[in-house]
Structure 1
Amino acid sequence: MNNIKKCKEDIKKCKEDIKTKLDKGIFKTYAKPNTATATWWKNFLRIQDDKENIIPYVQCVKCFSIFAYDSTKTGSSTHKAHAETCLGGINCSVGKSKDIVSMLNKENFIPTSSKRLFTEACATFCSYDLRPFEIINGSGFEVLCQSLLDIAYNNSCRIKASDIIPDPTTISRRVRSLAEERRVELIESLLSDLKMVKLFGITTDFWKNKFSSDSYLTITIHYNKDGNMMNLVLKTVLVSESKTGENTKKMIWNILKSFGIDPDVFQIVYVTDNGSNLISALGEEAHLRCICHCINLVVKQSLDECSTMNVLISVCRDLVTHFKRCELQQKLSSTLKQDICTRWNSTYDTLWSIWLNFDDIEQVLDNRNESTYLGKINRLMVKDVTDLLAIFKIGSEKLSADDVPTLHSVLPWFYKFKKSCESRDTDPLYIRELKQKILDKLDDKIWLTDIHYIATFLHPETKSLSTLSQKERNAVVQSVKKMMKTIGIVEESPDLTITIDNDRRKNKRNKRAKRDDISVDDILKEFVANDTDDDDDEVYDEVLEYMKMKVNYQTGENILLWWTKHTSIFPQLSRLALPLLSIPASSTTSERVFSETGRILEARRQQLTPDSLDSLVFLRNFR
């Protein structure tokens, strides 16, 4: 007992000594390891002694407390718990309350030996079955472990694992039957939910199994329920016929009808990429083209058509490849990013990572007598190009969200993109050329429709549409009235349909974009910077009241919550705004499913049937 007490006192004294040396500048903090992926590392820094050796201690960046840490000897549960509770960490007050309760509640105490035994079992599981370490962070793994603990708790005798582990075929069959049960539940809830809304969205896209080249189609539904956005994967099917427009439409219609959704009865807005088969299939429907796909086409094609940019990107790729091949990444403060030729975002990441590490790269190459790798890279050019492209990267990331409304911000972002490409006298020739290419592509590749203008009008901050002319504003208001009649919110008009004008373009330009992050609220405010108070006495009364009303809208407030609170004031407009603003501006929801299926259809799982794949994808997204 005395030895334990003495050991604790020594550790405490050592920590105090380290903190004193840090305060005096004798010891220094150092960045986390490049291999560290745990979230708690965001709150900690390693410590270097006066000889620049890493010592087995870390310091909290918030409260500056010192903790012992040796990746080969100690665990990280203490560090994780501290990160969650320290100075406004996640569930700070709740976490502290739980710690006190757990200390007082002896029944919930888990011996260290039991934790160590389970850790060893997890390590063995990952080693024997070649599973990634991160598998234990999955919610499914937690469900599995909890079910085993519950079984053990309810049985007095010791159970052999082999007696309860089912056959893989049994699991496969249960996956399919469980998915079918969940689909029945979903169909029942959908029929109930869709009766309450007048409009909803469908995102869909094709994707290909890289091992077999089989094509699949995934469909996701988006609608509003009680003021919340609902995004549900309906079906993933193997494409057995040619992907013509006619066959594509037939597949989409059959899938929707299998869930009780008749496309000829419901008012649906479809969001897809620019694939010709999808455009052909949905030519007569309310169809939006994925804004993120359009931005990708704009920037990628603009970069491809600028010879100077091609040379710059090529030599930057060679540089990154060299650093990866020669294992020089660890000599840099942050890693260099290799780009993917089909995604301009990754090209931006490559250029930006080189800019951030330029001095370190220069030093490393000088020490190796390899300066030629950097000789053709103009540092200023890298900075100028990333400054210009940053606004497009930020915009595409904001517009790709599917958990917050994005449709209303497409038009303001479009104007922001055009303003950022206004040529300046101080711009180098290569930047002027790139800006002009982007401007031309913006008008050609980004398809703005009446729905985009209506969504912008339905946001309190941009309802004035002051960037547009009076004639254009009146046209938007008329489109709002038509849409409300078409979907049955106001008196029916048999000859009215949702009008989509794909040729509506605006050419106003202004200043260049900045590097800093830009919030959606900033974009909305800039869009209405020239607000005016024009009247239109012909406008339907409720729309007129909405236009005239000086709304109390807090910056950053959830727009769906705002409309939910104003349903009594605008009962008809809210019935349009809530479902319309719940439709995403991009089809990235379906594309995220493709990433998931890539982890399912890996090289060793090519025997999965299409039904099993569909069931696995459906269950993962229906939780």
Structure 2
Amino acid sequence: MGSDTQMEDTSGPSAIDVSDAYAKRKVGRPITSERTLARNFPEIDEIRGKLLTGECFGRMRTSGNSSSVWQLFEEIAYSDSQLFTGIVRCKACAFMTRYHGQITGTSHMRRHHCFREAFPEAFTNSPKITPNVTINKIKKEPKVSVNRSPYAIHPVSSSLIKETNGGQTPTAKVQPNTNRIATIKSELRERILQFCYNELITVESMTSDTFKSLVQSLVKLCTTVGKGTVALPDRNQLYAQMTGQHNQCKNRIKEELNSALQKNIGGALVCDSEADLCVISTYYINSNWQLVESILSATAAGNDINAFISQTLEDFELSDDQKLSKFTFISRGGLFDGVSMCLTSMAHVIDGVIESAVFGDDTYTEIVENCKVICAELRLNVEGFTTEWVVKFEIMRQVIENRHKFELKNSSLDLDLVKFLVDFLAPFKAASVELRQCSRHPTLNHVLLWYYKLLKHLNATADDDTLASGLKTVIKVGMEQNFQLQSFHKIAAFLWPNFRFLKMLSTEEREEVHNEVRELIDSRIVEEDGSGGGVDSNGLKKAANFDEWEEQDSEQDELNKYISVQLTTCNEQNILIWWREHQQDFPKLSHLAKWILSIPASVTSLERFKLISSQEVTPELLFMHCNAPFKRSLVMDKSVKTSWQKKMQIKNDKKIVKLYEQEIKDAKQQEIEAKRVRREANKQRKQENARKAEITVSIKNPKKLKRIAKKQMKQMRKVRRN
């Protein structure tokens, strides 16, 4: 009882003193306890490391009457206990500092430069402290104010200004950081224009009050400030910058295209139009044997396509007959005067035949609708295709591939018929997709191959029923009427080394293709060689002219050599690389391949850039959308194919590196094993030495062991004494 009374006497007065102190102290900062004063803040580097590992996280302060500084700073708390670490971080620049309500306060956080930029009104409207002067002096001398902010610029009295500047009173103004503001505004304009290019949104939409309110709401949501204002660029500034970028991109494409036409014997002029939309582009192969596409012009109000094409050619200085005759014109079915040849988009020809022959009536409409319902129930994705009949094909294919996931109940859907349609239309879908890969590799060399493969697929067999034979007959008639093979299609297949023998053609047709190749060499290649000026196509100086003693091969011999010599094969991805490696063996055929293989089999600009006729945008915006930084002058080829010797050398180098790496690992493992053996030997020697140094006491009376404690018994052991 006495001890309890004594404890109460020692602890009571301190509690009474603290409460009295709080009762007496009604103003100023509250008294801080010893525990709070002795608080140890964690190191900022330690908290920064825990933020990276996920042991800590940032959160918004949730106190009711908090300072405006907490709209810029956030607390850092531990992830496991949710306790505040005592460290705060700036949301704008990730600056971290210590904070405690009774130790540090928020003054040092208000002095942070981000707080001054985010809340300028906290400094301009802060209360002013007038110096200790009399009222009479206030009328004679200017009122001097001292701003509480550490960034405040103290004004200079007029008397001092007169003494230092000879009586002239300058107007002192605070100059903002104009360079940084100009940089931020320029970056904002650039991002807005890139957004307009990529999403095809007009500049007026980006400068409207609706978009401004949207951005303002986004700022409030992200920063939880609600006081900042959004200042969008002026519409005229955006239009001026877009015009400059448009002219710069246009001049670059013009320079590259004219330079390529001087070195090549031909290229392709592609027109993809639908309704009022029209996109003009060119395809050519540059000096590195890479297929390049350049968008020349685009419009959403193309009422007169021929006039639009003519104006585009004039803008890029391609309207003269010499340059225009080098182009092969490709479109969805139109013609254009002045070019060497006009070709039709073959992928759209196949689409038209299948759409009219199979899905032209309502025969399979119910089947497709039922398959759509099944895909919706199974949540199968069939997006990513622009052609209508390919979308229907994919819907049916998804149903067949997932037929084990559902059971039909009271449905008229015939899955066997769906499977037949999928198997029957699969080659046409593959041909339509392959002939659209113009942005990846040459495709004109695929036209002849797909034509004969589809005709073989349409041949009647003994197993065909009435439905199969009827579909084959209708589609075959449509293919023969619309799929018109031109000489360039056959020449392109001939220039693919894998199919240079043209086994799908008859002997007379092969001879006709060979004669057409010789005519093109005579009419195009000879003129090109005559204007070389002593420099070959690779920019190297030609050797001296000793033609009178040199054995020269004719075009006939080069063509026969290409047919008879055993050559390496190549796929469609590296056919251009093959011709680059063999251009010294077949110089004139390589010139011809550089022209023919640059011609695309189909037009795909509207599909690739996802343009629709209902979009009302300016031609400049459409042009920049098609020539955005990630789409400009697409280089469409794979890396250079390495030779066998190079592959073996790389393999041997890798083998040597692996052996050296294994030697290092073995040496390190041996070192670790030696340390382990040495450590065990030291441990054993230490135990032996300890046992040698032990002092043993012999116990002659075993009854004494019963009186020894268990803890001591564990430390005892039997030792044999000599």
**Range of TM-score over shorter length:** 0.5 to 0.7
How far, CA to CA, are the matches of 1:360 and 1:345 in structure 2? 23
Q: Deviations over 1:20-75 (max 9, x none)?
A: xxxxxxxxxxxxxxxxxxxxxxxxxxxxxxxxxxxxxxxxxxxxxxxxxxxxxx9x
Q: Residues 112, 343 of structure 1: CA spacing in aligned structure 2 closer, same or farther, 3 A cutoff?
A: farther
Of the three residues 296, 299, 309, the one matched with 1:237 is 299
Of the three residues 337, 354, 357, the one matched with 1:302 is 357
8 Å CA contact retained: 1:256, 1:262 = yes
1:388 aligns with 2:424: yes
Give the C-alpha shift of residue 486 in structure 1: 3.0
Equivalent runs, 1:452-467 vs 2, <5 Å: 452-467=489-504
Equivalent runs, 1:522-561 vs 2, <5 Å: 540-555=556-571, 558-561=574-577
Equivalent runs, 1:109-128 vs 2, <5 Å: none
User: Which segments of 5 or more consecutive residues in structure 1 lack a partner in the other structure?
Assistant: 12-73, 75-109, 114-130, 141-159, 209-214, 494-536
Q: Which amino acid aligns with 2:369?
A: R
How far, CA to CA, are the matches of 2:576 and 2:385 in structure 1? 37
**Partner SS, residue 454 of structure 1:** helix
1:260 aligns with 2:317: yes
Q: Which amino acid aligns with 1:234?
A: L
Q: Residues 318, 250 of structure 1: CA spacing in aligned structure 2 closer, same or farther, 3 A cutoff?
A: same
8 Å CA contact retained: 2:284, 2:595 = yes
**Partner SS, residue 319 of structure 2:** coil
1:470 aligns with 2:470: no
Of the three residues 180, 199, 214, the one matched with 2:266 is 199
How far, CA to CA, are the matches of 1:180 and 1:383 in structure 2? 54
Q: Residues 474, 111 of structure 1: CA spacing in aligned structure 2 closer, same or farther, 3 A cutoff?
A: farther
8 Å CA contact retained: 2:445, 2:597 = yes
1:573 aligns with 2:589: yes
**Partner SS, residue 328 of structure 2:** strand
Give the corresponding residue for 1:172: 239
**Partner SS, residue 184 of structure 1:** helix
For the pair shown, the structure with the greater C-alpha radius of gyration is 2
Give the corresponding residue for 1:311: 363
How far, CA to CA, are the matches of 1:579 and 1:571 in structure 2? 13
How far, CA to CA, are the matches of 1:301 and 1:571 in structure 2? 45
Q: Residues 396, 195 of structure 1: CA spacing in aligned structure 2 closer, same or farther, 3 A cutoff?
A: same
Q: Which amino acid aligns with 2:423?
A: D
8 Å CA contact retained: 1:220, 1:234 = yes
Q: Which amino acid aligns with 2:396?
A: L
Using the size of structure 1 for normalisation, the TM-score is 0.57
Give the corresponding residue for 2:277: 216
Give the corresponding residue for 1:613: 622
**Partner SS, residue 263 of structure 2:** coil
Q: Residues 573, 426 of structure 1: CA spacing in aligned structure 2 closer, same or farther, 3 A cutoff?
A: same
Q: Which amino acid aligns with 1:237?
A: T
8 Å CA contact retained: 1:202, 1:222 = yes
8 Å CA contact retained: 2:329, 2:339 = no
Q: Which amino acid aligns with 2:378?
A: L
Give the C-alpha shift of residue 546 in structure 1: 0.8
Equivalent runs, 1:405-416 vs 2, <5 Å: 405-416=442-453
8 Å CA contact retained: 1:421, 1:435 = yes
How far, CA to CA, are the matches of 1:311 and 1:240 in structure 2? 37
Give the corresponding residue for 1:562: 578
Q: Which amino acid aligns with 2:429?
A: K
Give the C-alpha shift of residue 282 in structure 1: 4.8
1:225 aligns with 2:286: yes
Q: Which amino acid aligns with 1:224?
A: I
**Partner SS, residue 311 of structure 1:** coil
8 Å CA contact retained: 1:317, 1:338 = no
1:271 aligns with 2:344: no
Give the corresponding residue for 1:190: 257
Q: Deviations over 1:290-335 (max 9, x none)?
A: 0101110121121046x7xx43333322552x56xxxx83x52634
Give the C-alpha shift of residue 194 in structure 1: 1.4
8 Å CA contact retained: 1:216, 1:237 = yes
Give the corresponding residue for 2:398: 353
Equivalent runs, 1:572-611 vs 2, <5 Å: 572-593=588-609, 595-596=610-611, 606=616, 608-611=617-620
How far, CA to CA, are the matches of 1:283 and 1:571 in structure 2? 28
Q: Residues 455, 169 of structure 1: CA spacing in aligned structure 2 closer, same or farther, 3 A cutoff?
A: same
Of the three residues 343, 356, 359, the one matched with 1:288 is 343
Q: Residues 348, 112 of structure 1: CA spacing in aligned structure 2 closer, same or farther, 3 A cutoff?
A: farther
Of the three residues 375, 380, 390, the one matched with 1:334 is 380
Q: Deviations over 1:197-239 (max 9, x none)?
A: 111001112234xxxxxx1321010000020000011001354
Equivalent runs, 1:401-480 vs 2, <5 Å: 401-402=437-438, 403-480=440-517
How far, CA to CA, are the matches of 2:94 and 2:492 in structure 1? 57
8 Å CA contact retained: 1:391, 1:417 = yes
Give the C-alpha shift of residue 165 in structure 1: 5.2
1:622 aligns with 2:632: yes
Give the corresponding residue for 1:376: 412
Percent pairwise identity = 23
How far, CA to CA, are the matches of 2:279 and 2:330 in structure 1? 12
Give the C-alpha shift of residue 265 in structure 1: 1.2
Of stretches 296-305 and 475-484 in structure 1, the one that deviates more from structure 2 is 296-305
Q: Which amino acid aligns with 1:390?
A: A
How far, CA to CA, are the matches of 1:553 and 1:296 in structure 2? 31
Q: Which amino acid aligns with 2:461?
A: R
Q: Which amino acid aligns with 2:412?
A: K
Q: Residues 376, 562 of structure 1: CA spacing in aligned structure 2 closer, same or farther, 3 A cutoff?
A: same
How far, CA to CA, are the matches of 2:392 and 2:515 in structure 1? 42
**Partner SS, residue 388 of structure 1:** helix
How far, CA to CA, are the matches of 1:350 and 1:201 in structure 2? 35
Using the size of structure 2 for normalisation, the TM-score is 0.50
**Partner SS, residue 195 of structure 1:** helix
8 Å CA contact retained: 1:234, 1:618 = no
How far, CA to CA, are the matches of 1:176 and 1:611 in structure 2? 8
8 Å CA contact retained: 2:452, 2:504 = no
Q: Residues 182, 557 of structure 1: CA spacing in aligned structure 2 closer, same or farther, 3 A cutoff?
A: closer
**Partner SS, residue 415 of structure 1:** helix
**Partner SS, residue 265 of structure 2:** coil
Give the C-alpha shift of residue 616 in structure 1: 3.9
**Partner SS, residue 583 of structure 1:** coil
User: Which segments of 5 or more consecutive residues in structure 2 lack a partner in the other structure?
Assistant: 1-41, 55-78, 80-92, 97-190, 201-226, 531-552, 634-722
Give the corresponding residue for 2:147: none
How far, CA to CA, are the matches of 2:599 and 2:338 in structure 1? 19
How far, CA to CA, are the matches of 2:619 and 2:522 in structure 1? 42
How far, CA to CA, are the matches of 1:283 and 1:182 in structure 2? 27
How far, CA to CA, are the matches of 1:300 and 1:378 in structure 2? 21
Give the C-alpha shift of residue 180 in structure 1: 0.8
8 Å CA contact retained: 1:271, 1:587 = yes
